């Protein structure tokens, strides 16, 4: 029997709007709710086309799409507290079906796409990305420990975001990204399970995949994303938003695994000093 979803609620089930792929086409997986949603269907189709574009650099994402090992949830507004309970419900379900999704391939991914806001610059998107991750963590922390094998310190070279005991590498997409491979019409967070990259490392295939992706990104953009670094060399938090952050940048994120939400305990609230914006690096 599947584990009970600790984020389950009638409201989360009603508002859950998740797509998978079947026979090469997006298909809505969760209840009819309020009936057809043309915007959500358009987002799901657009993401599939985005990843399958011949110039798209991430072949791991393409593999997930080709093996139909992708889930795409559509939510109202990035970093809105009202979206967090539904995303938590959906992401937990994804974390528990990873084995099934990767039965025929190496990669699975969960895509959280938001209808708004769409006019963000890079700094605003970065701020909302981390606010959304904080909202998820605040709901998860009283229930699950941080994922084993990775750090909960966003300044640590071994940091990875954790939800429901699963480590994720986050890729942020939005219309105004300076990186072409991250330009998507809606603000989007891609949750890539960290374990699949570790399995590639153990089998000696990770370096080849990494080099192919970076070469394709260089062909598309003209240069390699300057914040890229292997796990353990620098904190991957610097890569999540896609913005070229400076050396003094720190993620505006406060981990508190095992504790109450900051909303319930003022002592845990993220201090404003954590939200430091570094000068834009020279281009």
The residue segments making up the domain with residue 82 are: 10-264
- Does residue 28 lie in a domain region? yes
Residue 222 pLDDT = 87
Beta bridge pairs of residue 6: none
273 touches 252 (CB < 8 A)? no
- Does residue 273 lie in a domain region? no
What total number of domains does the chain contain?
Answer: 1
- Does residue 139 lie in a domain region? yes
- Does residue 105 lie in a domain region? yes
Distances (CA, A) of 138 to 7, 210, 280: 12, 32, 30
The tens place of each residue's pLDDT in the chain, 283 residues long, gives: 468 999 999 999 999 999 999 999 999 996 555 567 899 999 999 999 999 999 998 888 999 999 999 999 999 999 999 999 999 999 999 999 999 998 887 899 999 999 999 999 999 999 999 999 999 999 999 999 999 999 999 999 999 999 999 999 999 999 999 999 999 999 999 999 998 888 888 888 778 888 888 888 888 888 877 666 655 568 999 999 999 998 899 999 999 977 755 445 443 344 333 333 333 333 3
Residues 6+ apart with CB under 8 A from 184: 46, 47, 50, 173, 174, 175
- Does residue 27 lie in a domain region? yes
- Does residue 135 lie in a domain region? yes
């Amino acid at each position: 029997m599947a584990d009970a979803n600790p984020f389950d609620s009638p409201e989360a089930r009603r508002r859950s709007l998740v797509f998978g792929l079947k026979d090469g086409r997006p298909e809505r997986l969760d209840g009819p709710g309020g009936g057809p949603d043309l915007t959500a269907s358009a987002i799901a189709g657009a993401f599939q086309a985005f990843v399958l574009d011949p110039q798209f650099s991430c072949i791991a994402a393409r593999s997930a799409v080709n093996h139909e090992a992708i889930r795409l949830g559509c939510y109202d507004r990035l970093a809105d507290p009202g979206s967090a309970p539904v995303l938590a419900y959906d992401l937990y379900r994804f974390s528990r079906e990873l084995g099934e999704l990767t039965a025929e391939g190496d990669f699975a991914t969960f895509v959280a796409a938001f209808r708004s806001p769409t006019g963000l610059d890079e700094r605003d998107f970065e701020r909302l990305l981390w606010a959304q991750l904080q909202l998820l963590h605040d709901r998860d922390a009283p229930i699950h420990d941080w994922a084993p094998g990775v750090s909960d310190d966003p300044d640590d070279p071994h940091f990875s975001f954790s939800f429901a005991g699963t480590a994720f590498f986050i890729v942020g997409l939005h219309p105004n990204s300076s990186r072409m491979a991250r330009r998507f019409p809606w603000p989007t967070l891609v949750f890539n399970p960290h374990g699949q990259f570790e399995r590639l490392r153990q089998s000696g295939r990770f370096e080849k995949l990494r080099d192919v992706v970076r070469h394709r990104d260089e062909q598309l953009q003209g240069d390699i994303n300057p914040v890229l670094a292997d796990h353990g060399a620098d904190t991957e938090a610097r890569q999540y938003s896609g913005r070229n952050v400076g050396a003094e940048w720190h993620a505006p994120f406060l981990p508190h695994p095992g504790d109450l939400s900051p909303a319930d305990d003022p002592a845990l609230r993220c201090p404003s000093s954590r939200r430091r914006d570094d000068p834009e690096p020279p281009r």
